[in-house]
Structure 1
């Protein structure tokens, strides 16, 4: 039975094969027309132009600003006048402050000079005021005297402080020596 079945299958395949051949002979052959490709050079030219345009758009635009200041303009005229007035006010204020500071410095120097002298009489005060008002060169001499005296006082204070510290150290050493003697 196996032989029969194989033979039947074989005949069926032969029939199918024949039908396929017959069908392929009957099918009309389709002829496809050739597709014409457009001219690509035009497209490449347009692409190049588009790229150039994009590059130009991306470049920063150069802007130029011109400012003109003319004195005939009301804003400029009043601005210059206002700045001039402000400058004059500042100059007068600075001058006034400098005079005030110079007076303070002179008074400080007078005080330090009087302190050096110890006691001062009304005649000496008048003489000192006369020096500060009329003889500015003498003020430099007084300033040097005061600074020299103050340096001498500072050096004397340092020397006395060192002597005091040495005395304290000597006293401390004496106490330590006595405590060591008592322990023995």
Structure 2
């Protein structure tokens, strides 16, 4: 009996150990299955993310679409940088442009206008002075008790009233002719003086 009891205890211990071993293996299998399911879930999530990235409107396709534009922009930027470096490596030639300020131009214009206006006033005043002087002279001639002078003045007045333009042109023409004669006389006197000087030199 004691032997049978000992065998039973040994068998029970063995069965208990085997049962515990199976239980541990089952727990390990459950852990492995859980880890595998978690891995499968991660793979599914990665697959979904990959599908989202590779679909028509996804970020990767958008990046691939805009990649040529970025490449062109990079090339333009590179050319600009090279041109800038080339320009900076050359010596700068500074041209000094002296701009006359607008205020100075306005001052010059106002000064010229003032000169023109002053000249016009001066000429107008001179003409008015001449007219006043001629009027005084004419009135003085009218006051002279000389029939010939009075007759000449009346004749001149009648001529001027009858044909004012002809009278004015006639006066201007005679003044010009008189001026030309005076110039010719001055020229003749000058040449005569030069001839006299030549005669004096010839005598020496």
If the length of structure 1 is used for normalisation, what is the TM-score? 0.29
Pair member with larger Rg: 2
If the length of structure 2 is used for normalisation, what is the TM-score? 0.27
More helix per residue: 2
